[in-house]
Amino acid sequence: MEEITLIIHGWSDSSDSFAPMKRFLTNNGVGNVNTVYYADYESREDNITFEDVVDGLYDSFKEKGFIDKEGNPLKWINVIVHSTGGLVIRHFIARYYSHRIDRCPIKKIVMLAPANFGSPLAHYGKSLLGMAVKGRRKLGNMFEVGRKLLNGLELASPYQWELSHKDIFTQNPIYTPDRIQTFIFVGARGYEGYIRKLANKKGTDGTVVVAGTNLNPVKFSVDFAGEEEKITFIRPNTDTAFCVLKDYDHGTIVEEVKPDENSLIGKLLLEALRVQTREEFKEFKAKLSKITEETYKEEEIYQQFVIRTVDDHRKPVKDYTLEFFVYKYEDRYIKKGEIVKRRMSSKEIKWSEKLHDHITDEFHTNSSDPSLRRFLVGLNKLEKLLEECYRDMGDVILSVRVHIPKVDDGIFYDTKKLKNIFLLRTQGGRIVKSSPSLFYPNTTTLMELKVNRSTKYVTLSTKPRKH
């Protein structure tokens, strides 16, 4: 079958930005003017949803003859996406082909700085400032910013959580060398220039979270609702190629793919598009891993955590706080996952404050569903702090306390098991390795906590009562 290439833009952008990329591709033998397509969607329309976008994409595939009326492939498609385009193509595949992945017309995806697990700028995009800077300028929809899409793009969004359970945490893997070859490229540099660099956040390329671009997340589910604590760990069978480039930001990773630019990202894009076999994929993936290792010789490396707290009926718990504590190891012992302790010393208080501040430095509560929280941890600095802590007070235990206030006098949560949840301990100032590990650099870790919700408003008696 004929092979075509499809380019999908991100939020607040359009296909016009990718005209140089199309010329670059055709000049280098990737199709021709009639086989390289653009997909456009009105990303700043407030009423448009991701569902609308993928429905429109599916209908357009039929109209262009990419698929037949049942969705079976008539042409093979290689897809290049930027930013929000990553969520669009993942949603498209999850919606129409997750149950029949062998009939999916998409054979390859190259993601440039995809917003797979959110952007810290999405929340600001919905603000008055975002409306003024990025809002539309047409009568009838003045200052619209694509509010529903931005809700999905926001850090720790329910949309990202649900999508990952449809296309990543599945028994039938989608993103593998034999099904859909997937390549992810992202820059490690924030924006330059006095105005633009104000948008920079730690661990981002200026717009998206670098650790949140990777499609190799893991998930911990901790059930505190039963008699015994139950921990479930899931590591999906995805196999994608991931690369962090030190000299690119969210814009230049696209802008430097053009005919008159002999850029590294341009070369890597062409190489990804030309990979065919599993062995070629494996070799190219190893090459990209070496580039990433080189990038992080002088850069902090981050891990993103997304916490979701639910009750025993899986309803969201929206009001809770997380506090991280350090305890001297030799003075404590762990019983059934809980730390048994005496009163905290002044050194334990001091180091608890330092570790808590570091872990929660980049913390975000999702605006539409506060049961979802996100924090970004610099792993090199975490190790350094624990080494300093060891020199001051010896080996330690790091734990987290989850505080959930009662709803009212008769409805409350059982938080006895949440007072000190063991996370890690050190030996000689180094983190003791555990299985499964808590740490996965440059990835997103999902953690779901289930707690028991109780009530005093329901009683049984042999005698009548008024209330």
Read off the pLDDT of residues 169-185 as tens digits, 9 standing for 90 and up. 999 999 999 999 999 99
Within this chain, do residues 32 and 145 fall inside the same structural domain, yes or no?
yes
In this structure, the answer to whether residues 425 and 286 fall within a common structural domain is: no
Burial bucket for residue 429 (CB in 10 Å: 0-12, 13-18, 19+): middle
326 found inside a domain: yes
Q: Does residue 300 form part of some domain?
A: no
Domain of residue 350 covers: 305-455
Q: Quick one: which of 161, 144, 294 has its CA closest to 219? A: 161
Examine residue 111 and state whether it is found in any structural domain, yes or no.
yes
CB 187 within 8 A of CB 193: no
Residue 429 is assigned to a structural domain of this protein: yes
10 Å Cβ neighbour count for 31? 18
pLDDT in tens, 210-258: 999 999 999 999 999 988 889 999 999 999 999 999 999 999 999 999 9
User: In the prediction, which pLDDT does 199 show?
Assistant: 72
Helices marked H in 320-399: 346-359, 379-393
Where are the alpha helices (H) located in 12-140, listed in sequence order?
19-27, 50-63, 85-96, 121-125, 128-134
Q: Nearest to residue 398, comparing CAs of 434, 364, 362?
A: 434
String of DSSP letters for 135-149: S--STTSTT---HHH
Distance CA 315, CA 187 (A): 37
Residues 70 and 101 in one domain: yes
Shared domain check, 283 and 398 = no
In a domain, 460, yes or no: no
Q: Are strands 396-403 and 411-413 parallel, antiparallel or unpaired?
A: unpaired
What's the pLDDT tens digit per position in 9-43?
A: 999 999 999 999 999 999 999 999 999 999 999 99
Q: Please identify, among 270, 295, 320, the residue that sits at the C-terminal boundary of a domain.
A: 295
Q: What one-character DSSP code corresponds to residue 345?
A: P
Output the six-digit token pair for 59: 């209908």
264 in the same domain as 126: yes
End residue of a domain, out of 277, 295, 313: 295
What per-residue confidence (pLDDT) applies to 140?
43
Residue 465 belongs to a domain = no
**CA-closest candidate to residue 449, choices 337, 326, 325, 361:** 337
Distance CA 208, CA 250 (A): 7
Give yes or no: residues 255 and 361 share one domain. no
The secondary structure element, H or E, covering residue 223 is strand 218-223
Let me know if residue 404 belongs to a domain: yes
Claim to verify: residue 17 and residue 97 sit in the same structural domain = yes
Query: What are the backbone dihedrals phi and psi of residue 294, each rounded to the nearest 5 degrees, phi first?
Result: -65, -40
**Count of the separate structural domains present in the chain:** 2
Residues forming a β-bridge with 6: 37, 79
Domain-terminating residue out of 276, 295, 314: 295
Pairing of strands 106-112, 181-187: parallel
Are 7 and 36 in contact by the 8 Å Cβ rule? The answer is: yes
Does residue 286 form part of some domain? yes
Statement to judge: residues 332 and 378 lie in one domain: yes
Whether residues 158 and 181 fall in one domain:
yes
Q: What is the pLDDT of residue 344?
A: 87
253 within 8 A of 245, measured Cβ to Cβ: yes
pLDDT score of 138: 46
Based on the domain organization, do 348 and 264 belong to the same domain? no
Rounded-to-integer distance, Cα 362 and Cα 303, Å: 11
- pTM score above 0.75: yes
Same-domain pairing of 283 and 320:
no
**Residue 283: its pLDDT value, please?**
98
190 and 310 in a single domain? The answer is no
- Local confidence band at 193 (pLDDT 50, 70, 90 cut-offs): low
Question: Mean per-residue pLDDT for 254-268?
Answer: 96
Residue 421, C-beta contacts closer than 8 angstroms, at least 6 positions apart: 222, 337, 338, 399, 400, 401, 402
What tens digit of pLDDT does each residue of 52-96 get?
Answer: 999 999 999 999 999 999 999 999 999 999 999 999 999 999 999
The rounded Cα 54 to chain-centroid distance in angstroms is 20
Instruction: Give the Å distances, CA to CA, from 191 to 119, 196, 245, 301.
Output: 14, 6, 14, 18
Residue 258 sits in a domain of what CATH number? 3.40.50.1820
pLDDT-derived band at 205 (thresholds 50, 70, 90) equals very high
Strands of 120-213 (E only): list them.
181-187
